[in-house]
Amino acid sequence: MTTEVRSLREFKMPDVGEGLTEAEILTWYVKPGDEVTDGQVVCEVETAKAAVELPIPFNGVVEQLFFPAGTTVDVGTAIISVAVGAGAGEAAPAPVAAAAAEEEAVPERREVLVGYGPRTGGTQRRARRSAAAAPARPAEAPAPAAYAPPQEPAPVAPVAPVAAPAVAERPLAKPPVRKLAKDLGIDLRAVVPTGPEGVITREDVHAAAQAAAAPAQAPVAPAVAPAPAEEAVVAVAQPVPAGLGDVRVPVKGVRKATAQAMVASAFTAPHVTEFVQVDVTRTMKLVRKLKESGELGAGVRVSPLLLVAKALLTAVRRYPEINAAWDEATQEIVIKGQVNLGIAAATPRGLIVPNIKDAGSQTLPQLAVSLGELIDTARQGKTSPADMQGGSITITNVGVFGVDTGTPILNPGEAAILAFGAVRELPWVHKGKVVPRQVTTLALSFDHRLVDGELGSKVLADVAAILERPKRLITWG
């Protein structure tokens, strides 16, 4: 008699690197019963960096989707199970030992996510139970009850650890959550965990921080230790009073990452911003000539931002110390070997800052092509996470919104950001006479820990001088 071998393999939310710990499932492209092949895209997810399509690394038939679209899932959590092997389309349950063996094979696949290479560090994974301990498996997949396998008592697993928090000597929390608690001055031992298996989440830490900051409600009776914390959590969970017509927008994905990055940057790096007004009439004439002549190539987009970018790159070449980062761990200044020029871009998902790799080595025609591709990709929402990693200095073009200037916040890990304001026709003293000229305002914010006033001023003055007389791109380049 022939016995058909069948097993289930689970595909987990891949580790996308750069400290990201979760992603939101935007769209499922498959459903239970569909056949999938190695490399087929099964869903699109949004990380804190960008939207990414996830290909599955094996063949089979979709057994179950553990989470619906719109759910935010931790990295390392199974999101889909696939029946593999002979008789894959049948509904027979898979042995736990076989599933575990198949699961172990998944990390050997070197590329599981478009835009990322293999992970160099060891894979972080909870200790695996043996096949004999099969009843403990429900605690391994903290899926919502509606999407959990019917035979698994999903609601039971997360309850037990929370009921006895005093048993654990060290609170359970992921490294980013521990860092958040440290930054906020919260003792994790005093935080009530709400995550699966008694794990403390970021929301738990924020709730504890808000409870600590909120004024006491002056209860009449003396407080017993557990009571104030419990009451505080309930109070924090209540919605903020809102007026008629108010709309609540969930903060997640790119918007959430931007908010966290801006707060971290504003309260970590001591910002200094300098301003200068400059006559850019000659630059605007050059832009028009390059557009009309097509010298940079057919179909190549030419804009004032292109010459601003080239001016900044020229200034960085003259003062490479501005292209640097502060290393808090080693207390060192790291001067970057190449200039990865970031361009702040507003997208439907929020603010992103993709960068042009090694922009300092590109000619003006090459830079024009790279800038055009970057802008088009960002507008289409197709910017990859790799395109947003490793930036060293940034330009934000606030002039496209009719704004004269601003005090831009540094992109984390960079030492300077240049704001390019609107170009306006203003009265200007030119050759001893007041005449109408095209004028813009530039603003340079820099990290005063590693950029002093002299260096920042020289870089900003260089950019202004080049835009005033663009032929300096040749003489200084």
Residues classed as catalytic: 448
Q: How does DSSP classify residue 437?
A: E
Please state, in angstroms and as integers, the Cα–Cα distance from residue 170 to each residue in 76, 174, 200, following that order: 22, 12, 11
Beta strands in 424-470 (DSSP E): 424-430, 433-447
Contact in structure between 331 and 337 (CB atoms under 8 Å): no
Please state, in angstroms and as integers, the Cα–Cα distance from residue 290 to each residue in 123, 297, 415, following that order: 52, 10, 32
What gap in Å lies between CA 291 and CA 303, rounded to an integer?
Answer: 8
What gap in Å lies between CA 342 and CA 472, rounded to an integer?
Answer: 23
Contact in structure between 64 and 32 (CB atoms under 8 Å): yes
Beta strands in 314-372 (DSSP E): 324-327, 332-335, 341-343, 345-347, 350-352, 355-356
The amino acid that residue 175 corresponds to is P
Please state, in angstroms and as integers, the Cα–Cα distance from residue 382 to each residue in 50, 349, 388, following that order: 8, 11, 12
DSSP calls for 19-88: T--EEEEEEES--TT-EE-TT-EEEEEE-SS-EEEEE-SS-EEEEEESS-TT-EEETT-EEEEEEEETTT
| Nearest by Cα to 13 from 64, 59, 47, 39 | 47
Contacts of 26 (CB under 8 A, 6+ apart): 43, 44, 45, 46, 51, 69, 70
Taking residue 145's Cβ as centre, other Cβ atoms within 10 Å add up to: 9
Contact in structure between 406 and 336 (CB atoms under 8 Å): no
What gap in Å lies between CA 108 and CA 390, rounded to an integer?
Answer: 27
